């Protein structure tokens, strides 16, 4: 629903540094290290080393043609997989695709092991480098971070836009992550796939193309709305239907029905405070007419990042529907 704004303090190279810091101990003899021990203990380059970096593992697997790494990832660097923008990821996904061989490839699973890096490397990067407030898929729930005993905790889940079990090689890709609420990520989206539009893409223009529209039941066409049930809100896309599946997958229309009270309240306020009343208040208080309007209707500034507060998109679209700005 809302595009992720990476412009502030988001340094993708820091993510790469973090992921690159992941090291495997070559000499540990437990099961978790089986692949590393088997492949690296006897290779001359690594005889005098105690640890090996994740990127080195990737490059070595290509070099020794492990599990077809040299074919699958031909011409694709580790950095490109980790930091490639959404368009690049889409191209890689199209080229490598998905098959049982890919999904069951133990070496791919080993290198791109999300579960192992999730807490310490990935979630912590998002906590420190992106101001996350609400779910980018729905704009309904807060998913912010908070502190407990000086330690950061968070309310977000990181959705893999391209599912990690279908495309395991994209499991650590920065622009494949969408901070989202539990309902959107686990209960609704799951492994479902829809076109190549992700809130992490610079081409994601849901907010421009899709708007909340207000509908009134026949009995109140004169705008004399008495009850919440007399109104209906629906997301409508203009001139195309690219986001139809997106709206359907996240059950956006159905979920927003439960929040019609916000719109009902806006309509009631619009009735209570017509232009003439607002001008009276201006004369009475000396406060600028536009400011009074903004305060009463909680109007949202044009340049405000809509992801900062829940329902910002709904409020902004309905403000236009009611001609409040
Ligand atoms: Zn959500």
Average pLDDT value for the chain: 90
Q: What is the pLDDT of residue 120?
A: 87
pLDDT band with cut points at 50, 70 and 90 for residue 221: low
Q: How does pLDDT run across 118-171, given as a tens digit for each residue?
A: 988 999 999 999 999 999 999 999 999 888 988 888 899 999 999 999 999 999
6-26 mean pLDDT: 87
Residues 185 and 223 in one domain: no
Residue 224 has pLDDT above 80, yes or no: no
Residues 169 and 254 in one domain: no
With CA atoms as reference, report the closest residue to 177 among 251, 110, 84, 94.
Answer: 84
Q: What is the pLDDT of residue 151?
A: 87
How many CA atoms, within 13 angstroms, populate the side-chain half-sphere of residue 9?
8
105 Cα to the center of ligand 1, angstroms: 32
In the numeric block, the tokens 């579960």 are attached to 115
With CA atoms as reference, report the closest residue to 54 among 71, 29, 88, 77.
Answer: 77
Residues 55 and 92 in one domain: yes
Residues 242 and 162 in one domain: no
78 Cα to the center of ligand 1, angstroms: 31
1 Cα to the center of ligand 1, angstroms: 9
- Its domain, for residue 255, covers 207-321
Domain membership flag for residue 244: yes
Domain count, the chain: 2
252 Cα to the center of ligand 1, angstroms: 9
Residues flanking ion ligand 1, Cβ below 5 Å: 135, 137-138, 181, 184
The Cα-based distances of 107 to 10, 42, 110, 168, 295 in angstroms read: 31, 18, 5, 10, 57
Residues 180 and 214 in one domain: no
Buried b (16+ CB within 10 A) or exposed e, 171-201: bbbbbbbbbbbebbbeebbeeeebebbbbbb
Percentage of residues of the chain with pLDDT beyond 90: 66
Residues 183 and 220 in one domain: no
Q: How does pLDDT run across 255-280, given as a tens digit for each residue?
A: 999 999 999 999 999 989 988 999 99
pTM comes to: 0.91
Residue 44 has pLDDT above 70, yes or no: no
238 Cα to the center of ligand 1, angstroms: 23
Residue 238 has pLDDT above 60, yes or no: yes
Domain end (from 189, 223, 249): 189
pLDDT band with cut points at 50, 70 and 90 for residue 51: confident
Q: How does pLDDT run across 89-116, given as a tens digit for each residue?
A: 999 999 999 999 999 999 999 999 999 8
23-51 mean pLDDT: 68
45 Cα to the center of ligand 1, angstroms: 47
């Amino acid at each position: 629903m809302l595009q992720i704004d990476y412009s502030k303090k988001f340094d993708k190279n820091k993510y790469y540094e973090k992921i690159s810091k992941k090291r495997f101990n070559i000499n540990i003899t437990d099961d978790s290290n089986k692949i590393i021990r088997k492949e690296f203990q006897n290779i001359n380059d690594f005889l005098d080393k105690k640890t090996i970096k994740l990127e080195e593992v990737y490059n070595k697997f290509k070099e020794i043609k492990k599990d077809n790494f040299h074919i699958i990832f031909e011409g694709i660097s580790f950095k490109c997989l980790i930091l490639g923008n959404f368009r690049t990821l889409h191209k890689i996904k199209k080229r490598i695709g998905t098959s049982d061989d890919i999904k069951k490839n133990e070496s791919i699973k080993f290198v791109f092991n999300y579960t192992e890096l999730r807490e310490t490397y990935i979630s912590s990067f998002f906590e420190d480098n992106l101001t996350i407030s609400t779910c980018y898929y729905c704009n309904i729930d807060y998913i912010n971070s908070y502190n407990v005993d000086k330690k950061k905790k968070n309310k977000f889940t990181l959705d893999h836009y391209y599912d990690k079990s279908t495309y395991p090689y994209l499991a650590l890709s920065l622009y494949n992550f969408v901070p989202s609420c539990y309902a959107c990520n686990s209960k609704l989206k799951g492994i479902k796939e829809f076109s190549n539009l992700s809130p992490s893409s610079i081409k994601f223009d849901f907010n421009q193309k899709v708007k909340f529209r207000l509908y009134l039941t026949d009995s109140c066409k004169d705008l004399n709305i008495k009850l919440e049930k007399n109104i209906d809100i629906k997301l409508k896309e203009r001139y195309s239907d690219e986001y139809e599946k997106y709206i359907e997958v996240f059950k956006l229309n159905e979920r927003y029905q439960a929040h019609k009270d916000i719109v009902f309240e806006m309509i009631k306020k619009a009735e209570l405070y017509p232009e003439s009343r607002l001008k009276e208040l201006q004369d009475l208080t000396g406060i600028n007419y536009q400011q009074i309007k903004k305060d009463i209707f909680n109007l949202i500034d044009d340049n405000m990042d809509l992801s900062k507060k829940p329902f910002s998109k709904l409020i902004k679209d309905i403000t236009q529907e009611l001609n409040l700005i």
